[in-house]
Structure 1
């Protein structure tokens, strides 16, 4: 999609649709008032008829009106109070949903909504993402495709106001990354295997400035990554560890910032088998990996002057005669031993060896892992906030700031030493679960033992990576917006 900036009089703007606003008191924005006057009071007549009340994100589509250049007018409510970011996003999503099916140009008279808290650049960035969400549609494994319907979408967006071109570019890059992460998450697990994710990383590398390395299961076993292998060996699909190196900084040797995604492309629970109900959704257990690929895609579009390592640790967790059993003890790449009390706590096993590999080989300035790790986090935070765990206050602040700006929310959960004893084992250095209480925290405690002093944070996205049930079912692409904003601030 193309993005344009214009300062021409609103009534004369040529567009398939122009978007203007009113608040809940019925007050029209200056742009809406200009159109109302040029059309002989057409908008005010609709307000007087109570066709629209101006509630937050309420919309009313009006047909072509004599006296204005646009073919349609979308009237959007902004509510009755100063807009918070969550309400602003609702408004932008409503606009994108209402106009994404029109070809031609959509003009946006929204500059008056900008504030010190939500500047014009923020609005432009978010509207680009809103259109990305509105236009995304999964079709890959559907037999009948309506090509004509897919092609019907805006050719361009015109922002009526000051130049926000850079913000549009950033928002579009994030939207591309989100759509990519959604697509990977939504693919069925017989297609999106560890080998598929590895091939996607190679494609990204070929298309942009990425150096990609793939370590297979056999290599990792030789290296001593016993925790990873304990998960991967139960499947006929070979496990992979994927490393993507982006070097955008002037100093190519500057310590990189690492993001590491859990990529369990299907999780049966292994020998500790999950219940059958909704098990199909365990294809989403690789959404951490998808978010890393989506973030790297966005970085290739934006080309920031930083060094980033994107890592994915990927396997299937399956029951088999040679799969790990509860009670097994395995030796991690770090040399620490783990008693596997539950084979369904596999994500931390593949992540810990990847953390050790990444820290030993790249000496990162920071490490953030992203994982659909625990149902306990979902139970605590639902589908609104991702769980944030770290003892590094600087890193916590950076991630919280990125979350607040992007609207990709996080909530910080405890990571205190008092919880570590729940992982005690009589037969190994630690167990892979800590019992029925504080499950999200004990999972983070487990990972913390493999950080080796590196500034580290853990994002548990079990509740936010996908939506369940009905028409809403599907990957969300989170936390790509959070990760991109976090890395761009480095």
Structure 2
């Protein structure tokens, strides 16, 4: 039975910049200072000496007593008592390791976890950050704060309400903070969508969320219902969603840059396609029970696309972007697709269904074929939790991607490294083409061995001659435990990578 409403959720912290040091800013519950490793013992960052003097506390002695090293993610807690407690109640000393961008992202997440249920924290951590380090710190603090609940009594804990970045006076800091909030917010939204249980998150509900955030972001949003999907020949989406009482949808979100005419066709267009399987039982080739436990997040690719589209204006994306999310629930019933069925995709290509649990590629194929035929993009990127084989290949924290265009592959690689959503390029091995061939149809959805590669080869047929990249992040879609900016549960991976690429000065440089 579908739940009636999602309880009110917590929000990420608010952020502010200040040129002052923490002891000069009143009203904070917590002061936090960076700690850097040194061969002669850890060093304290800006504002710590002044804080120690104001509070009458030897912070270096506290580090020594805790045997602190300054490694990334290490926290030394120094309670404040007596008269000094009128200024602040707690001092945190946070390790930043080698002070790389990644270290600051992780330090931000560490600080956020250490200050949950607090009203405010003032910190100089971002004051010593390298280029792009302030952004990384804020993104880490936002995502390390993430929480989701469906408790009758409300959330178990709340993020710190306000984080002030002290001793920051760089003229470009305001822009960097705004960009950070856009990236962190996209990651938060993507993670939240993936975490919502499937008794609420039907294809129709996901479409409603896209309409809501799209309207707020100034996007044009179009939704295909089942009748329109049938009338226009989206056989893959209809086949996958055919076994569920919750009918499928196709979501289209259109972004046009500031100053560009929506009617103009001269501006190049990027199309993003995100897999939107709101729950995956495996269909008639049903998964074992433990394999279904995380399947509410099988729409994570679609969630990443929705979250990215909603933030494009915030990062001043310079090109037109269309986001497509084919949404369906892969269920078991008398009307479910069967092994051996042949379906006809948008545009006419046919697929023999020899594994109903290889459903993601069937819905992506429809959306990709539509994009190539009706939009003629300059670049096409699909993103999906597609194959367990990718996790076997790359482990827990790295997504995989394939590309038929070298410049597009370089864009994905650069965005992955910058965003912290790591990805590794995989090969499109032509020798495996015979595995995706069918004796009775144009293609077979169940090629088997080298599963991540054969899934990509299956999809490549629907990209035509368009520069295309396929991102399979089944390896990174679920975090087994809290780890820096990742919180236990669905990861929301992908939105930051896409937004980093599309928010760059020239996302299409060299492509095509």
Equivalent residue number for residue 477 of structure 1: 492
CA distance in 2, matches of 1:299, 1:87: 26
Deviates more, 1:272-281 or 1:195-204: 272-281
Q: How far has the Cα of 1:18 moved from its partner?
A: 2.3
Change (3 A) 1:90 1:131: closer
The answer for unaligned runs of 5 or more in structure 2 is: 1-12, 508-512
Q: How does 1:290-309 map to 2 (within 5 A)?
A: 290-309=303-322
Q: How far has the Cα of 1:128 moved from its partner?
A: 2.0
Tell me the alpha carbon deviations over residues 26-45 of structure 1, each in whole angstroms, 9 at most, x when there is no partner. 23334334434555561122
Of the three residues 248, 253, 257, the one matched with 2:257 is 248
CA distance in 1, matches of 2:126, 2:497: 24
Of the three residues 68, 72, 84, the one matched with 1:56 is 72
Equivalent residue number for residue 378 of structure 1: 391
Equivalent residue number for residue 45 of structure 1: 61
Tell me the alpha carbon deviations over residues 402-438 of structure 1, each in whole angstroms, 9 at most, x when there is no partner. 1111111001111132221211221112211212x21
Equivalent residue number for residue 223 of structure 1: 232
Tell me the alpha carbon deviations over residues 198-237 of structure 1, each in whole angstroms, 9 at most, x when there is no partner. 1111112332311111112222222222222221212221
Of the three residues 127, 130, 148, the one matched with 1:111 is 127
Of the three residues 70, 93, 111, the one matched with 1:75 is 93
CA distance in 1, matches of 2:481, 2:416: 26
Of the three residues 415, 419, 437, the one matched with 2:432 is 419
Of the three residues 160, 173, 196, the one matched with 1:187 is 196
- State whether structure 2 residue 186 is matched by structure 1 residue 173: no
SS at match of 1:443: helix
CA distance in 2, matches of 1:277, 1:41: 52
Q: How does 1:138-217 map to 2 (within 5 A)?
A: 138-139=148-149, 141-146=150-155, 150=158, 153-163=160-170, 164-217=173-226
- State whether structure 2 residue 145 is matched by structure 1 residue 135: yes
CA distance in 2, matches of 1:325, 1:53: 59
CA distance in 2, matches of 1:188, 1:401: 33
Equivalent residue number for residue 133 of structure 2: 123
Question: TM-score, normalised to structure 2's length?
Answer: 0.87
Q: In 1, are the aligned partners of 2:276 and 2:300 still within 8 Å (CA)?
A: yes
Deviates more, 1:204-213 or 1:284-293: 204-213
Deviates more, 1:291-300 or 1:236-245: 291-300
CA distance in 2, matches of 1:431, 1:60: 57
CA distance in 1, matches of 2:19, 2:186: 31
Equivalent residue number for residue 488 of structure 1: 503
Q: How far has the Cα of 1:301 moved from its partner?
A: 3.9
Change (3 A) 1:398 1:469: closer
Q: In 1, are the aligned partners of 2:447 and 2:454 still within 8 Å (CA)?
A: yes
Equivalent residue number for residue 295 of structure 2: 282
Change (3 A) 1:168 1:145: same
CA distance in 2, matches of 1:213, 1:389: 29
Tell me the alpha carbon deviations over residues 18-62 of structure 1, each in whole angstroms, 9 at most, x when there is no partner. 221222332333433443455556112223434533232211122
Change (3 A) 1:213 1:203: same
- State whether structure 2 residue 475 is matched by structure 1 residue 463: yes
CA distance in 2, matches of 1:376, 1:230: 24
Q: How far has the Cα of 1:134 moved from its partner?
A: 3.1
Of the three residues 431, 438, 443, the one matched with 2:455 is 443
- State whether structure 2 residue 357 is matched by structure 1 residue 314: no
The answer for unaligned runs of 5 or more in structure 1 is: none
- Cα RMSD of the aligned pairs, angstroms, is 2.4
Q: How far has the Cα of 1:271 moved from its partner?
A: 1.4
CA distance in 2, matches of 1:485, 1:146: 31
CA distance in 2, matches of 1:105, 1:90: 17
Equivalent residue number for residue 8 of structure 1: 20
CA distance in 2, matches of 1:268, 1:3: 41
SS at match of 2:465: coil
Q: In 2, are the aligned partners of 1:266 and 1:316 still within 8 Å (CA)?
A: yes
Equivalent residue number for residue 89 of structure 1: 105
Change (3 A) 1:145 1:50: closer
Of the three residues 244, 248, 252, the one matched with 1:235 is 244
- State whether structure 2 residue 470 is matched by structure 1 residue 454: no
SS at match of 1:126: helix
Q: In 2, are the aligned partners of 1:386 and 1:461 still within 8 Å (CA)?
A: yes
Q: How far has the Cα of 1:98 moved from its partner?
A: 1.4
Q: In 2, are the aligned partners of 1:176 and 1:297 still within 8 Å (CA)?
A: no
Q: In 1, are the aligned partners of 2:108 and 2:144 still within 8 Å (CA)?
A: no
Q: How far has the Cα of 1:468 moved from its partner?
A: 4.3
Change (3 A) 1:365 1:87: same
Q: In 1, are the aligned partners of 2:316 and 2:503 still within 8 Å (CA)?
A: no
